[in-house]
Structure 1
Amino acid sequence: MIEATEISSVMRALADPTRRAVYERIVSAQEITVVELTRGSGVTQGAISQHLKSLKQARLVTERPEGRNVYYRAEPEGLVPLLDWMSHYGLFWQERFDSLRTLLKEIDP
């Protein structure tokens, strides 16, 4: 099973709707700057920077400085803890549904 701190970090980062929207914009762009993320978002540049800090801590985005700009891009490997967690519980529930299906067939032939 995955480490609890990793999954908690990813879930905490994606739990905030504004942060999730920032992440989705980063995912849809190959690379994007804070200025571009701020433009049209209705959120201040300072708030965007705080959201980026959380996303970086969760390893969901990486940054690449170039001159005066910093470019952000999604880090697909950052979602692995979430995917592992979902896979684990997907199997758990599938087994439970299979057992329920068997039980219901036994009860009502």
Structure 2
Amino acid sequence: MSDKNQLRDVFDAIADPARRRLIRLLAEAEEIPLHELTEQFSMCRTTVSKHLTILKDAGLVVYRKVGRETRYRLNASPLREVQDWVAHHSKFWNGNLRRLSQLLEEERP
């Protein structure tokens, strides 16, 4: 983990489809109250809150209280770690596939 404040690995946090959907919803809006997020799922408010807690622990979500309401927004900067990992491995596979293609071309009669 790159950020000392992160309690959970970003890869672990985005592994669940429901959490990826939460990230997508938060990316589309500046800020969303918990009750509006819960309406987007066929799960109870407590389950949505648990998913949000995992995202908060990974540094992907920040929140603020407005009266009795909790509003959430995305902090996408921890996703840079995922992007960097994918880019590194993409270079590896692209290079290997290019070499394989060259070998196959050389073996053609």
Partner of 1:60: 60
Contiguous gaps of at least 5 residues in structure 2: none
- Taking the aligned partners of 1:95 and 1:16, their CA distance within structure 2 comes to 30
Partner of 1:81: 81
Deviations 1:10-39 (A, max 9, x none): 222122122222222212211001111112
Moved over 4 A (4+): none
Contiguous gaps of at least 5 residues in structure 1: none
Residues 1-109 of structure 1: pairs in structure 2 closer than 5 A: 9-108=9-108
TM-score by length of 1: 0.84
- Taking the aligned partners of 1:21 and 1:72, their CA distance within structure 2 comes to 14
Higher helix share: 1
- Taking the aligned partners of 1:48 and 1:87, their CA distance within structure 2 comes to 31
Q: Give 1:43 deviation, angstroms.
A: 1.3
TM-score by length of 2: 0.84
- Taking the aligned partners of 1:104 and 1:76, their CA distance within structure 2 comes to 41
Identity %: 35
- Taking the aligned partners of 1:59 and 1:73, their CA distance within structure 2 comes to 11
CA RMSD of aligned residues (A): 2.0
- Taking the aligned partners of 1:9 and 1:37, their CA distance within structure 2 comes to 23
- Taking the aligned partners of 2:31 and 2:70, their CA distance within structure 1 comes to 9
On the 8 A contact 1:61/1:78 being kept in 2, the answer is: no
Q: Helix, strand or coil for the counterpart of 1:53?
A: helix
Count of residue pairs brought into register by the alignment: 105
On the 8 A contact 1:64/1:72 being kept in 2, the answer is: yes
